[in-house]
């Protein structure tokens, strides 16, 4: 899991008007800004060059840049977010990514796809089919990544209550290990991996983020932290409470390659 670069975007003053099902109250924008600074610092400490895009107040959810694209060291794919209010986020991201990538593909209508549904494990893409990513979008991405020599598999999460994106419940930790929501452990696609299962009362912490030698873990989930520490990962705790209130987590706040 060697990453060199990350793109993030500052949270906008309209952040609290984004989509949320979390029922954790309104986010505090001042605290969200501070947490974003710590998040960027953690990525930098893990060795990434971070590009910090300005806030985009027309799009309250635009701090969750992960949903706008899929990036690898070889190519980028501009997504087509499943939520209408987020569709326009891709316009500015397209401009940014063409500065970095020669190969920029796009998910086309009627396909929809959120980057949060895409989990890359080595050379293999797990592509979540969710209430945001439809089968047409999923197939388009499978075809694109196949051209670049990657394999893929679909994982349907539409029946999983409270799970927005695939990466809300499954994240690749490197070294053939997956961090999983307990409801995912018997899924046939995940059987060939070493599994670390977060406690049932800490499922939010299934969204940890491996960056080079570090694993970023959300603050407030001691059971998940202990599991990762015991497995030998070098963990770094990052507080993203204000982003959790808006259904987002550690992976959602950056694009990494
Ligand atoms: C949304 O509902 O789209 C945002 N409020 C949260 C997006 C979180 N993104 C992610 O999990 N990749």
CATH code linked to domain 5-256: 3.75.10.10
Distance 197 CA to ligand 1 centre (A): 22
**Beta carbon of 252 within 6 Å of any ligand 1 atom:** yes
How is residue 31 written in tokens?
């605290």
Mutate which of 67, 118, 157, 206 for ligand 1 pocket (most atoms within 8 A of beta carbon): 67
- pLDDT given for residue 127 in this prediction: 98
**Beta carbon of 105 within 6 Å of any ligand 1 atom:** no
Which of ligand 1's atoms lies nearest the C-alpha of 165?
A: 11
Mutate which of 115, 132, 246, 249 for ligand 1 pocket (most atoms within 8 A of beta carbon): 246
Distance 252 CA to ligand 1 centre (A): 7
Mutate which of 116, 206, 256 for ligand 1 pocket (most atoms within 8 A of beta carbon): 116
Instruction: Give me the active site residues, please.
Output: 165, 252
Distance 216 CA to ligand 1 centre (A): 18
- pLDDT given for residue 112 in this prediction: 98
Query: Is-contact 49 23, C-beta < 8 A?
Result: no
Which residue owns the Cα nearest ligand 1 atom 2? 19
Q: Which residue has the tokens 């015991």?
A: 230
**What does the radius of gyration of the chain's CA atoms come to, in whole angstroms?**
17
Q: How far is CA 109 from CA 19, 87, 106, 160, in A?
A: 22, 11, 10, 25
Q: How far apart are CA 160 and CA 205, in angstroms?
A: 16
Q: How far apart are CA 164 and CA 166, in angstroms?
A: 7
- pLDDT given for residue 154 in this prediction: 98
- Phi then psi for residue 61, to 5 deg, are -95, 10
**Beta carbon of 61 within 6 Å of any ligand 1 atom:** yes
Residue-range domain boundaries for the chain: 5-256
* SS3 per-residue string spanning the chain: CCCCEEEEECCCCCHHHCCCCCCCCCCCHHHHHHHHHHHHHHHHHCCCEEEEECCCCCCCCCCCHHHHEEECCCCEEECECCCHHHCCHHHHHHHHHHHHCCCEEECCCCCCECHHHEEEECCEEEEEECCCCCHHHHHHHHHHHHHCCCEEEEEECCCCCCCCCHHHCEEEEECCEEEECHHHCCCHHHCCCEEEECCHHHHHHHCCEEECCEEEEECCCHHHHHHHHHCCCEEEEECCHHHHCCCCCCHHHCEEC
Q: Which residue has the tokens 């994982």?
A: 155
- Phi then psi for residue 81, to 5 deg, are -55, 140
Per-residue pLDDT of the chain (257 residues; tens, 9 = 90+): 799 999 999 999 999 999 999 999 999 999 999 999 999 999 999 999 999 999 999 999 999 999 999 999 999 999 999 999 999 999 999 999 999 999 999 999 999 999 999 999 999 999 999 999 999 999 999 999 999 999 999 999 999 999 999 999 999 999 999 999 999 999 999 999 999 999 999 999 999 999 999 999 999 999 999 999 999 999 999 999 999 999 999 999 999 99
């Amino acid at each position: 899991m060697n990453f060199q670069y990350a793109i993030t975007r500052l949270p906008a003053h309209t952040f609290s008007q984004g989509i949320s099902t979390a029922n954790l109250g309104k986010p505090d924008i001042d605290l969200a800004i501070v947490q974003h600074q710590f998040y960027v610092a953690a990525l930098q400490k893990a060795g990434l060059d971070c590009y910090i895009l300005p806030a985009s107040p027309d799009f309250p959810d635009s701090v969750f840049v992960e949903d706008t694209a899929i990036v690898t060291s070889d190519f980028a794919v501009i997504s087509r977010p499943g939520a209408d209010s987020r569709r326009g986020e891709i316009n500015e991201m397209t401009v940014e990514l063409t500065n970095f990538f020669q190969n920029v593909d796009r998910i086309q209508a009627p396909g929809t796809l959120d980057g949060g549904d895409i989990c890359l494990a080595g050379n293999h893409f797990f592509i979540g089919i969710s209430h945001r990513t439809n089968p047409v979008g999923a197939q388009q991405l499978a075809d694109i990544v196949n051209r670049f020599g990657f394999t893929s598999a679909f994982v349907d999460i539409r029946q999983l209550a409270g799970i927005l994106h695939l990466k809300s419940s499954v994240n690749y930790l490197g070294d053939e290990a997956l961090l999983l929501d307990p409801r995912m452990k018997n899924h046939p696609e995940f059987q060939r991996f070493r599994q670390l299962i977060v406690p049932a009362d800490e499922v939010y912490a299934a969204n940890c983020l491996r960056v080079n030698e570090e694993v970023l873990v959300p603050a407030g989930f001691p059971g998940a932290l202990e599991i990762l520490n015991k497995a030998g990962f070098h963990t770094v705790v990052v507080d993203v409470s204000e982003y959790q209130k808006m259904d987002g987590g550690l992976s959602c706040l950056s694009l990494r390659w």
